[in-house]
Amino acid sequence: MSAARTPAAVGIGLRSERGPILGALMLASALVALDATILATASTTIAGELGAFDQVPWLFSSYTLAQAVTVPVYGRLADVLGRKRVMLAGIGLFLLGSVLCAIAWTMPALIAFRVIQGIGAGAIMPMSMTIASDIYTLAERAKTQGYLASVWAISSVAGPTFGGVFAQFVSWRWIFWINVPFAVAAAALLWRHFREPERSGPREPIDVRGAVLLTLGSALLVGVLLEGGTWGWGSPLTVGLFGIALALLTAFGLYARRAVHPIFDVRVLRRRIIGASTLASLMVGVLVLGLSTYVPIYAQGVLGYGPLLSGFALAALTLGWPIAATLSGRVYLRFGFRLTGLLGSTIALTGAALTLLLGEGSELWHVAACCFVIGIGMGLTASPTLIAAQTSADWAQRGAVTGTNMFARSLGSAAGVAVFGGVVNARTVLGVDGLPEGPGLAAAMHLVFIGALAVTVVLLVAVALMPKDRPARLPGITRRCGGRSSAS
């Protein structure tokens, strides 16, 4: 690799400046983390003011769809144009979308502006992880990932609280205005402190054709998975769009194999560690969002608890993850990525198996305990498998590898909601509150828990397929970005 392609040669993020850079990454992550939780508690208030309650699901689907399909494109653009440009562009788009959402005058306008937010979010999360991987050694990442994980832990509690307070006492529009100071501060810190190397020689061309094929195909596939249950899985619209999505993705795969500089090199999935970690990320997405969606419904519809207490069970899942992610760095430095992932997936498997013991007479804390165990397992699995894939790639591929991993998680999230939703909808009816109810709900949720168990089995297999690694020989412990010592 030439010096122009080796960031360490000119010093990305000097040691004296890595603190402000990490602060910027935490602020940028807070944008996405808060947005993932803050809107849910205010959706009914928004619908009451803007009307079109039936369009409320698209407030979430449009954002998720835009975020998911842009992640792999941003990953490659970061490898070609640089992390800083892509990250600042993502923050700028998220800021623009937030301001537009805050002044939205109709529900369709709000949904359209959520798409802009999602396009920005698609750059923020993978770039945060990629930049952290660039400027910190593997040993240092074991500590810094705890800071990034704490953002999600705080947001899981603060998001719903802020959303409820704004909607009830101020205005739901402040849900979006609150993003402005975070975005401005994050962008200012990155602009001032994050420096990338000057590149010499010709720049690789942007693969526009591949980007169009991948984005359109992914958008249709994720859209069908998100909305297929609403349209009807056997409807001509669902079947037709699914067929078009597969055709576009197949065309992209054939094209990418011949392209000199593809927007996403599908051949990297042949590498055992990247293919296995991507499959693991897919399963993590299925499990986490699937349970996040239907555990509160189980607590309300089967156990009879109210929305506030039902959220307690879900909070156990979202808190278990960052707690374990904070500790996972010490574990994989001592035992390696694969053993840490195997430990985490085994714990998640145990938690999923415990859900099979839940019944109509279970207590809420039983559900919370199962979710907490699963969250611990996810925290010990998701971070090490991603960092293992990042560590195996050089700087010129690290953005694409990170984007691929996160795209797989987004695709899994959409698939998890679709599959679990199909199981529940097939055996229940909707009540006046729009939630599934009836005697079949308990049986349907038992099938969901069986499905979650099956997913954790696949997750365990995916981690087991990762190559063995020895902690003492893990690359990057005494190097940052392929060359410079952490003590320099």
pLDDT of residue 387: 84
Give residue 478's pLDDT: 40
Percentages of the chain per state (helix, strand, coil), in multiples of 5: 80, 0, 20
Which of 148, 167, 195 delimits the end of a domain?
195
Provide the pLDDT for residue 156: 65
Residue 289 has pLDDT above 80, yes or no: no
| Residue 486 counted as domain residue | no
Confidence of residue 74 (pLDDT cuts 50, 70, 90): confident
Prediction pTM value: 0.74
In the chain, what is the greatest distance between 2 CA atoms, to the nearest angstrom? 68
Instruction: Kindly report which listed range (178-192, 290-304, 305-319) carries the lowest average pLDDT score.
Output: 305-319
Of 158 and 54, which is predicted with more confidence? 158
Residue 484 lies in a domain: no
Q: Tell me if 263 sits within 8 A of 457, measured CB to CB.
A: no
Residue 292 shares a structural domain with residue 273: yes
Q: Tell which of 149, 173, 195 closes a domain.
A: 195
Residues 63 and 144 in one domain: yes
Establish if 201 belongs to a structural domain.
Answer: no
User: What's the pLDDT score for residue 476?
Assistant: 43
Q: Tell me what pLDDT residue 464 has.
A: 93
Q: Is residue 3 part of a domain?
A: no
Distance CA 88, CA 128 (A): 11
Residues 352 and 411 in one domain: yes
Q: What is the pLDDT of residues 229-288, one digit of tens each?
A: 677 778 888 899 989 999 998 998 888 788 777 777 777 777 888 889 999 988 998 888
**In-domain check, residue 25:** yes
Question: Are both 182 and 212 inside the same structural domain?
Answer: no
Task: Look at residue 16 and tell me if it is in a domain.
Answer: yes
CA distance 72 to 403: 4
312-354 per-position pLDDT tens digit: 777 777 778 878 887 887 888 888 889 999 999 999 999 999 9
CA distance 70 to 265: 15
Cα distances from 47 to residues 53, 58, 63, 230, 325, in angstroms, run: 5, 12, 17, 19, 36
Identify whether residues 283 and 216 lie together within a single domain. no
pLDDT of residue 422: 73
pLDDT winner (highest mean) among 222-226, 340-344, 400-404: 340-344
Q: Identify the residue with better confidence: 41 or 86.
A: 86
pLDDT score, position 486: 33
Number of domains present in the structure of the chain: 3
pLDDT at 71: 82
Residue 101: per-residue pLDDT: 93
Q: Which domain holds residue 188?
A: 11-195
pLDDT value at residue 16: 47
DSSP 348-374: HHHHHHHHTT--TT--HHHHHHHHHHH
- CA–CA dist 387, 396 (Å, integer): 16
d(CA 220, CA 62): 12
Q: What is the DSSP string of 401-459?
A: HHHHHHHHHHHHHHHHHHHHHHHHHHH-EE-TTSSEESTHHHHHHHHHHHHHHHHHHHH
What would the two tokens of residue 329 be? 């760095």
Identify the pLDDT of residue 160.
67
Higher pLDDT, 380 or 224: 380
Same domain flag for 365 and 241: no
DSSP 51: -
Which of 262, 289, 307 lies at the terminal end of a domain, its last residue? Answer: 262
Give the Cα separation of 379 and 317 in Å (integer): 10
Average pLDDT over residues 286-299: 79
Whose tokens are 């953005």? That residue is 399
Question: Does 185 have pLDDT greater than 90?
Answer: yes
Contacts of 433 (CB under 8 A, 6+ apart): none
Residues 242 and 285 in one domain: no
State residue 483's pLDDT score: 36
User: By C-alpha distance, which of 393, 368, 411 is closest to 76?
Assistant: 393
Same domain, 247 and 356: no
- 174/299 same-domain check: no
pLDDT tens for 428-479 read 666 655 555 656 778 888 888 999 999 999 999 999 999 887 664 444 444 3
* Alpha-carbon span 70 to 65, nearest angstrom: 9
Is the model's pLDDT at 487 over the cut of 70?
A: no
Q: Same domain for 256 and 270?
A: no
Q: What residues contact residue 273 under an 8 Å CB cut-off, 6+ apart?
A: 388, 389, 392, 466, 467
- Quick one: tokens of 471? 């902690």
d(CA 350, CA 284): 15
- Average pLDDT score over residue span 187-206: 76
Beta bridge partners of 430: 436
CA 440 to chain centre: 32
* Mean pLDDT confidence for 376-385: 89
Domain CATH number, residue 156: 1.20.1250.20
112-153: per-residue pLDDT in tens? 999 999 899 988 988 888 888 778 877 777 677 767 777 776
Mean pLDDT across the chain, nearest whole number? 79
- What is the mean pLDDT of the segment spanning 18-38? 84
Residue 184 and residue 213 in one domain: no
7: pLDDT strictly greater than 60: no
Same domain, 450 and 306: yes
Reply yes or no on whether the pLDDT at 36 is more than 80. Answer: no
d(CA 143, CA 424): 41
Higher pLDDT, 25 or 71: 25
Q: Which residues pair with 437 in a beta bridge?
A: 429
